[in-house]
Amino acid sequence: MTESRSVAKVLTYRHTLVVRISHWLNVLSICLLLMSGLQIFNAHPSLYWGQKATFAEPWLHMGAVTRGETTMGVTTLGPLSFNTTGLFGYSGKVGAREPRGFPSWATIPSYRALVDGRHWHFFFAWLFVLNGAFYVIGNLLNGHIRRDLLPTADQLTRKHLWHEIIEHARLRFPKGEEARRYNVIQKFTYLAVIFGVLPLMILTGLTMSPAVNAGQPWLVEVFGGRQSARSLHFICANLIVLFVLVHVALVIVVGFFNSMRSMITGRYVLEIEDGDAA
């Protein structure tokens, strides 16, 4: 058992400067893109499929419904309807509630101002895109993507994949030598976000521009129309929020201090049991 072994703490260099800079710029730009995006969404808190709006039949809608003396926030998702008073559709301090899609604490500015939301969104979209280009180009050149993000052959065996899924479900994560590299689920998730969700976010964003649609008409067709592009943009934003929630939760589970130090200074401590290292 472990008491017969000694545990050595080994300080390793985990995150390059390119990764650390782009990570924190991404935190800033994604936070502001999300808050300003929700402000923009609130100008018309309904989503549709296709080219045009079908006002009577949105697939998602947040609104306020008054019945008699009481007003409720109601969110409809297809045929389903939920009372979301205080969160979606109708929110604010009790007694001073107002009809709005997302609540004031989630938007920038807190009050309704589509114009400001657009200014924040289009500014931080540039930071986000330039930062993304810096990350991808930098890490293609230094080999980080090939070396650290692409799964290795031994990680892709059915046995290993199954083992990782079980271990994740038990919230048990690789330790020691195995923690030197990203685990395979982590790799797939990062690859899906970096080369799937984030580029889709940019492209669906571009196709909401009527000028881009005139110049590159094929692109909006790929997404099935402008309202579909708006819906996909919203869904991708939700996927990013989901990713961030899981990401932050896992950072806390595997060691908040160690993870934060590695994303700030680059240094990560591995606990290697004696005899574990070969």
Partner 1 sequence: MTDAIHRRGWIKGVAASLTGLWLAACNRINDNPDVQKTLLKAEGLNRRVHRALIDRKALAKEFTAADISKDFKANGSISPGDKPYRDHLMAGFKDYRLVIDGLVDHPMELSLADIHALPSRSQITRHDCVEGWSSIGKWTGARLGPLLDRAGLKREARYLVFHCFDTLGAATDGSNQYYESIDLIDAYHPQTILAYQMNDAVLPVGHGAPLRLRVERQLGYKQAKYIARIEAVSDFKSLHGGKGGFWEDRGYEWYAGI
Footprint on this chain of partner 1 (rule: CB under 8 A): 35, 40-41, 43-44, 46, 48, 51-56, 104-105, 108-111, 113-116, 118-120, 122-123, 125-126, 208-217, 226-227, 230
- Altogether, the residues listed in the chain come to a count of 278
Q: How far from chain centre, in Å, is Cα 193?
A: 8
**Nearest distance from residue 57's CB to partner 1, in Å?**
10
Residue indicated by tokens 């306020």: 64
For residues 196 and 215, which CB has a smaller minimum distance to partner 1 in the complex? 215
Rounded Cα gap, residues 229 and 206, in angstroms: 9
Residue 200: CA atoms inside 13 Å, Cβ hemisphere, count? Answer: 21
Nearest distance from residue 33's CB to partner 1, in Å?
12
Kindly tell me which of 22 and 107 has the beta carbon lying closer to partner 1.
107
Shortest Å distance, C-beta 42 to partner 1: 9
CB atoms within 10 A of CB 241: 12
Considering the complex, what minimum distance in angstroms separates the CB of residue 54 from partner 1? 7
Report how far residue 127's alpha carbon sits from residue 38's, in angstroms, rounded to the nearest whole number.
Answer: 18
Nearest of 201, 168, 195 to residue 182 by alpha carbon: 168
Residue 100 to residue 109: CA distance in whole angstroms: 13
44 or 181: CB nearest partner 1: 44
Measured from the CB atom, is 48 or 135 closer to partner 1? 48
Q: How far is the CB of 103 from partner 1 (least distance, A)?
A: 9
Q: Please count the helices (runs of H) and the strands (runs of E) in the chain.
A: 9, 8
Q: How far is CA 35 from the centre of its chain?
A: 13
Best CA proximity match to 156, nearest among 133, 183, 135: 183
Residue closer to partner 1, measured from CB, 90 or 268: 90
Residue 171 has a CB neighbour count (10 Å cut-off) of: 10
218 vs 257 by CB, closer to partner 1: 218
Q: In the bound complex, what is the minimum distance in angstroms from residue 84's beta carbon to partner 1?
A: 18
d(CA 128, CA 132): 6
Neighbours of 163 (CB within 10 A): 13
224 SS3 class: coil
Least distance from C-beta 114 to partner 1, angstroms? Answer: 7
Nearer to partner 1, 120 or 223 (CB): 120
